[in-house]
Amino acid sequence: MFPIAPRAVNGAGMAWRFAHSHCPAPRVNLAPENLMNTCNMVSMTASSPRDPLATRLERAFNDHGYEQLSMVGLAKLCGFTRRALYHHFSSKEEAFRFALRWRGELNIVAGMAAGRRLIEEGKGAVDIITEMMDVRYGETRRQLGLSPHALELNDQAFRRARDIMVEAAVDYQAKLAGLLTEMEELGLLRFKPGTTPESLAQSLCDGARGTNQSLPPIPPDQLKTRYHKIITAILFGSAEPGKHRAQP
């Protein structure tokens, strides 16, 4: 249920699928000022007793959008009493922000795992990075496209959780830079003079997020092909300097 891609800053688009945490306390205090620290303790595991709640929340926001839902309505759609939902979240916005952060972190883990899997399979650099971007960003776009409230949910994410999106982008780019360094050590690519793993990771993520914002919009089933093209262009270039300068 989350943004197709961030605008202006390096925010990360995040697919709408609410997920869980293994926070030990019976009640998780998810006030905005505590949210970041709380979610840093989230266990990145897909087998939590709260997974059924995650699925119901995802469906509720996708089917009904953000503005039209109250905590009472959200609780009913999730099969909870209002009091039971408030046991976990003190407001709809807190649930929304928590969902964004958790899904962003989970998508980062999935994207990195996809890259390492293809390295083990002996794939080339373009295929490895394309798969990572498709898992990290393409799935986001495809899931968001299924919601009749996609534009509203995208807007709400930018309005209410831009800080989370930026943090996720920085985190993913740092992890990608580390993997690019490993890929160079494995002989899968070689950095050109003046290029660092960090700058290349930034360019690759910018390219993927820009692809999600393309006009006219790219059909969801063609996203991976477009990622492949933009990644190829970024890694190997599409043109060389000409021998002559244009006349003034």
Render pLDDT for 148-200 as a digit per residue (tens, 0 to 9): 999 999 999 999 999 999 999 999 999 999 999 999 999 999 999 999 999 99
Buried/exposed 26-61: b ≥16 CB within 10 Å, e otherwise:
eebebeeeebeebbeebeeeeeeeeeebbebbbbbb
SS3 203: helix
pLDDT at 50: 53
pLDDT, tens digit, 9 for 90 and up, residues 66-118: 999 999 998 999 898 999 999 988 899 988 887 787 778 888 999 999 999 99
Name the residue range of residue 196's domain. Answer: 32-235
Count of H-run helices and E-run strands, the chain: 10, 0
18 in a domain, yes or no? no
Contact 141, 161 (CB under 8 A): no
- Pick from 220, 228, 59: nearest CA to 139: 220
What CATH number is associated with residue 221?
A: 1.10.357.10
Is 205 contained in some domain?
A: yes
Q: Is residue 71 part of a domain?
A: yes
Q: Which one-letter DSSP state was computed for residue 216?
A: S
Residue 3: inside a domain: no
Whether the predicted pLDDT of 144 surpasses 70: yes
Percent of the chain with pLDDT over 90: 56
Residues 50, 51, 54: CA angle, nearest 5 degrees: 95
Spatial distance between the Cα atoms of 64 and 79, rounded to a whole number of angstroms: 15
Q: In this structure, is residue 58 part of a structural domain?
A: yes
Q: What is the gyration radius of the CA atoms in the chain, in angstroms?
A: 20
Does 41 fall in a domain? yes
Q: Predicted confidence band at 143 (pLDDT cuts at 50, 70, 90)?
A: confident
Query: What pLDDT is recorded for position 36?
Result: 33
* Greater model confidence, 11 or 124: 124
The answer, yes or no, to whether residue 129 has pLDDT greater than 90, is yes
Dist CA 20 CA 44 (whole Å): 9
More confident residue, 32 or 222: 222
Instruction: Calculate ∠ Cα 202-167-179, nearest 5°.
Output: 45
Asked, as a colleague might, if the bond just before 26 is cis with ω within 30 of 0, I would say no
- pLDDT for residue 140: 81
Number of structural domains in the chain? 1
Position 208 scores a pLDDT of 97
Find the largest Cα–Cα distance for the chain.
Answer: 73
Stated pTM of the model: 0.76
- For residue 27, being part of any structural domain is answered with no
pLDDT at 26: 29
Considering the domain boundaries, does residue 182 fall inside one?
yes
